[in-house]
Structure formats: structure tokens, C-alpha cells
Amino acid sequence: MNPKSIHAVLRGAIPVSEISGEDDLDTHLLRDMAEQAAQYVRSFAWCLELHEQFFADGVGGIAAIFLFFVTIRKVKKPEWIWVVVGDFPSAYMELGAGGNPQAVLLRYIEGVEEWLDASVEERLSGDLIPILVPPGAELLESLRGRLATLRSLVLPHLRGD
């Protein structure tokens, strides 16, 4: 991605060190989520180093979207990735997944819905969003409910174009 394009994506994002929520509790929750997102990305063997970390948007304790500049094993130059964390399985996505937090969360929701509708074999194929959910019908239905909440109550309030 060229510098001009990344500048457009970063518009409205802030370094995680500058996160400030609507109140002290929101600030604390969002900062915890930033640490959760960083730990999530570092947990992968492909992540060699986190260079830059930005908070794009979110609601403390519920859902947050981050943008990380990461050195990835076997990739010559660092890459930008989106990271979505919250009260649901975390996921990372390529920068092309959307240019703003609203588009990224929508892609996450649609990707997890596709994952939920897929067979076990399809889920293991690696072609679907990379989330970890233990097996069990109750957990899967709970996740469907969380996605509905994200779609109706969180998504409309995130920064879009």
C-alpha cells in the first residue's frame, strides 16, 4: 500500500498510547483491549515484530478495531493488518478488508457468519476467517447472538467513510 493510501486509512486512528475513552472506565477497557489485540497478534509464529499500533474505533469491553504495522515471517516488508477484538473471537484481516472501522467490523461479522454456516471441513480448510471457537452448538448460537448485537448496536456507531 502506498503512503498516501495508508494515510487515508489512518485518518481518525490514534496511537494506542493515546487512547482516551468517553470516561475512565471506557479508557481502561479500551487500553486493555489494545493489549489483548497486541498479545493476539504476537501469539502467531508469523508475527516477528509489531512496529506501530493504532486504535481505529470501538466500544470499551465490547468491540475494538486496531491497525498494526507488523513484520511477518517470509514477507520482505512489514505489512498493515486490522485486528478486531472484543467479547467474541479475535481476528486479524488484511488491510484490504476495508478502509475504515465500520467496513472492517462488517467484514468481520460477515466472515464469522460465513464461518458459522460452513461445515466443519470447510472451517478447517483455511479459506474462512481465522477464528478459534471450541466446538459446541451452545457456543455457536451464543456467537450468532453476539454477531447480531455487533451488527445492530455497535456497527452503526463506528467511524465509516
Cβ atoms within 10 A of the Cβ of 67, count? 22
Is the pLDDT at 34 greater than 70? The verdict is yes
Q: What is the pLDDT of residue 8?
A: 63
pLDDT band for position 3 (50/70/90)?
very low
Q: Tens digits of per-residue pLDDT, 37-68?
A: 999 999 999 999 999 999 999 999 999 999 99
Beta-strand ranges (E) seen in 63-157 are 63-72, 79-86, 88-94
